Amino acid sequence: MSFDAEAFCAQTLTDESIEAGICDLYATMDTTIAGLDIFFLLFAATFVFMMQTGFAMLCAGSVRQKNVKNIMLKNILDACGGALGFWSVGYAFAYGGVSSDKKVFIGNAGFFLSGITDGAGLISWFFQFAFAATAATIVAGTIAERCKFEAYLCYSLMLTGFVYPVIVCSIWSSSGFLSAWNDNPPFGVGMHDFAGSGVVHMTGGVTSLIAAKILGPRIGRFFDVDGNALAEPKPFPPHSVALQVLGTFILWVGWYGFNPGSTLLISGGYGNVAALCAVTTTISGASGSVSAMFTDMYLHQRKTGETAWDITMVMNGALSGLVGITAGCAIVETWAAFVIGIISGWIYIFASSLLSRLKIDDAVDAIPVHLGSGMWGVFAVGLFAEPARTAAAFTEHGKYGVFYGGDGSLLLAQVCGILWIIGWVSVIMTPFFHLLNILGLFRVDTIEEEVGLDISHHKGGAYDMAGPSGETVEKFELHRSQHKIEIPKDTEE
């Protein structure tokens, strides 16, 4: 029989009794545990927010030198726009009016964080805001080097303030119609997306695909000056591989806030769940990187007879593995994380090649990474969800992955979740981007694109490459020649 501290302390106790001391101790413990949970979420949210730095470095390294300042500015404003949009309406649409005994399409309470004053509520907003900003940043890299700044501001606010919050409400809120935390979830189980392979990454990936298709490719990527299709797509090499690698590592570190932090608590046994998330995240990211690298090397060797190791495959393979495990990081075994990562690397290679064949230009390959691997991550939960792990992270519902004897209900819920995300984002963002295009607000002029967005939109390039003038160099040479010291030769006495 468990001890009921609340009932015990409700009695009238003398101030100096042992019982009163016990009650004081319990009150102190409750306060400490609540503070620990808040600190844990603060730590996790900070790591997720730091992923903005990773995206900025990755995007800056991937684009050409003439567009660095433009993409960096957009990454900064993703954080600013995400904060304002999610504070004003986004969080209310996502979680407002939450109740596990009903289902809603969109939240309707808590606009401008009204009524939210306690630490737990405020830190929840901060954590969820960091996720919303991540979804918006995915799009910025895809349509880099040719998107107008006005269009960027419009879609960023639309995504973080409305489109993304509706997805969150449907899957993560206990009032959501697909939510696994609802009292009456669909198929008796609901969609399981623990940290957001679908909610965050697929939402950003679908938006990126629609935007890239409507916006069109960069000049010279697939067509020549006369509009004729090139035999092979023209590569636009990154201007800094070092920045790309730095961004990849920062993103990987940020994922340890993204996935383990999605437990939302560290007390009450959730530390074990968070620990599993950290391990499966690491294994999937590593196996995705190695899978993409060796597979690309093998395909290149078959095609050319030469062996080459592509660092782009290493980086994007790792990110694909990290995206792929995000949905199931808390409910799969480590061996399953290894398999999920390997397949994520293959999906990245296939999806990247498919985009090129379809002549859809993605400046940073965000669509294969986030949409392709995000879909696989959501689907993989229906295959690999382990019974005990699922019960610890979600609830005991008796619905598990088909590889553990599940009846397919969880897999069906996962497929419905995939279709819902694709459908909702497409229905809203397709006409939205078409409208921007019709109004002339979407793509920059040809001459502005050719000269680079840094010069045409942001008062000059990101780097000062001028160097000293020829006249200055001549003056220096003359100055140095006049100050040479003659060292006398040794003479015999």
Structural domain 7-457, CATH architecture: Orthogonal Bundle (1.10)
Q: What pLDDT, on a 0 to 100 scale, did the predictor assign at position 10?
A: 62
Q: What pLDDT, on a 0 to 100 scale, did the predictor assign at position 493?
A: 47
- State CA 394 to chain mean position distance: 22
Give whole-number Cα distances, 172 to 93, 102, 166, 319, in Å: 12, 14, 10, 23
Contact call for residues 324 and 380 (beta carbons, < 8 A) = yes
Which residues of the chain fall below pLDDT 70?
1-16, 18-26, 483-493
pLDDT of 3-23, one tens digit each? Answer: 566 666 666 555 667 666 666
Q: What pLDDT, on a 0 to 100 scale, did the predictor assign at position 30?
A: 78
- Residue 147's DSSP bridge partners are 443
- State CA 74 to chain mean position distance: 15
Give whole-number Cα distances, 78 to 17, 84, 152, 406, in Å: 57, 10, 9, 41
Q: What pLDDT, on a 0 to 100 scale, did the predictor assign at position 484?
A: 60
Residue 6 CB: number of other CB atoms within 10 A?
9
- State CA 15 to chain mean position distance: 53
Give whole-number Cα distances, 394 to 71, 226, 287, 331, 387, in Å: 39, 57, 26, 9, 10
Q: What pLDDT, on a 0 to 100 scale, did the predictor assign at position 138?
A: 94
The single-letter code of the amino acid at 132 is A
Q: Which residues contact 165 (CB under 8 A, 6 or more apart)?
A: 86, 89, 90, 91, 92, 93, 94, 106, 107, 132
Instruction: Report the percent of the chain where pLDDT is more than 70.
Output: 92
SS3 per-residue string spanning the chain: CCCCHHHHHCCCCCCCCHHHHHHHHHHHHHHHHHHHHHHHHHHHHHHHHHHHHHHHHHHHHHCCHHHHHHHHHHHHHHHHHHHHHHHHHHHHHHHCCCCCCCCECCCCCCHHHCCCCCHHHHHHHHHHHHHHHHHHHHHHHHCCCCECHHHHHHHHHHHHHHHHHHHHHHHCCCCECCECCCCCCHHHCCECCCCCHHHHHHHHHHHHHHHHHHHCCCCCCCECCCCCECCCCCCCCCCCHHHHHHHHHHHHHHHHHHCHHHHCCCCCCHHHHHHHHHHHHHHHHHHHHHHHHHHHHHHHHHHHCCCCCCHHHHHHHHHHHHHHHHCCCCCCCHHHHHHHHHHHHHHHHHHHHHHHHCCCCCCCCHHHHHHHHHHHHHHHHHHHCCHHHHHHHCCCCCCCCHHHCCCCHHHHHHHHHHHHHHHHHHHHHHHHHHHHHHCCCCECCHHHHHHCHHHHHCCCCCCCCCCCCHHHHHHHHHHHHHCCCCCCCCCCC
110 Ramachandran zone, left/alpha/beta (phi>0; psi -120 to 50):
left
